[in-house]
Amino acid sequence: MFKDVFNLKSLVLPGAIFVVLLILPPIIPRFYTYILAVIFVTALLAMSLNMVVGHGGLFQFHHGVFYGVGAYTVALMLTKTSLPIWACFVAGPIMAALVGLLIGAFCIRLTRLYFGMLQISLGSLVWAIAFRWYDLTGGDDGMHGIPMPPIISSSKGAYYFALIILAICMIVIYLIFKSPFGATLQAIRDNPDRCEAIGINVRRHQLIAIVIASFFAGIAGVLFVVVEGSVFPDLLFWVFSLEVFIMCLLGGWFTFAGPILGAAMMVSLRTFVGIYTEYWTLILGIVLILLIFFLPEGVWGFLLEKFGRQTKGAVEGGSE
């Protein structure tokens, strides 16, 4: 199946980027290693969101919940239980997927904006638990200094761990994107009523997509704990979820690689403009306004359209 989806040409660019990222850490300052690791985590989160937003057409407004649940699950299990570390790491995404199933099952009964509003409400309940239950979650202080196995506790270790997991997840998400499931999901995005009329159980399909997306958000949550060594309730706050949503729009939400670019831009903006002013969101606002007027398909969407005729086949396949 790998042979069928990936051809050699399509692997050149991602492969080259991967190799460059592999050899970077010894060369660049530690701070940049850390920022890149944060970008990896955020990119995975944005990609998981884009599965339901860009490919599924759902208004997933509170994706941060699943990210936060993944992060809190692994943090709590690492600090409060003596289970083996791999079990804690696996539990994060699974718990996120379960919460995705639960919240999704309610939200899926509604459509469009109503779906988004209900998700914010239900998600905020989960946020309130993390924010208020001091005994368990540390409340608004969060949890810090979560113990990590030595191999990934250094910033370089965390970097490589995040990079490799991101690469694996990208391949899996790409396979899903290219599968009949992904094709049908994109058809639902374009026209849910018509899908219903050709025999597709639209709600069930969307629910499965939400669960899968939550699972990957959970993985991103685990990576966050590995990179940062801490968790706090802001991860589950709806404002942060909106930020991730913007990353998808920024990068290009109908494309596969767009969210990665969006995440990289957003984290860079926050980090490097944030050094000079705490009002970095002002710059973000201006960027967004320009985006809406000039690049409605996002940056990556724009690049694909402009230069994409030959690379389009390679990077996006025939499905766009």
Task: Please give the residue ranges that form the binding site for another protein (CB under 8 A).
Answer: 1, 4-5, 175-176, 178-184, 186-187, 189-191, 193-202, 205, 208, 254, 317-320
CA distances from 302 to 46, 49, 96, 251, 284 (A): 18, 20, 33, 9, 19
Could you tell me the two tokens for 23? 């050899």
Q: Which residue bears the tokens 């992060």?
A: 71
Residue 227 C-beta: closest distance to another protein, Å: 28
Between CA 227 and CA 221 the distance in angstroms is 10
Could you tell me the two tokens for 188? 């639902």
Nearer to another protein, 98 or 200 (CB): 200
Phi, psi for 231 (deg, rounded to 5): -135, 150
Nearer to another protein, 102 or 208 (CB): 208
What letter would DSSP give residue 143? B
Nearer to another protein, 64 or 298 (CB): 298
Q: Are 110 and 118 in contact (CB under 8 A)?
A: yes
Residue 205 C-beta: closest distance to another protein, Å: 7
Nearer to another protein, 131 or 256 (CB): 256
Residue 221 C-beta: closest distance to another protein, Å: 22
**Could you tell me what percentage of the chain is helix, strand and coil, using 3-state DSSP and rounding each to the nearest 5?**
80, 0, 20
What letter would DSSP give residue 233? G
Residue 308 C-beta: closest distance to another protein, Å: 13
Residue 182 C-beta: closest distance to another protein, Å: 7
Nearer to another protein, 245 or 254 (CB): 254
Residue 262 burial by CB count (10 A; 0-12/13-18/19+): exposed, middle or buried?
Answer: buried
Nearer to another protein, 119 or 255 (CB): 255
**Would you call 231 helix, strand, or coil by DSSP?**
strand
Nearer to another protein, 139 or 317 (CB): 317
Residue 113 C-beta: closest distance to another protein, Å: 21
Signed CA dihedral, 21, 145, 100, 300: sign only: negative
Residue 58 C-beta: closest distance to another protein, Å: 15
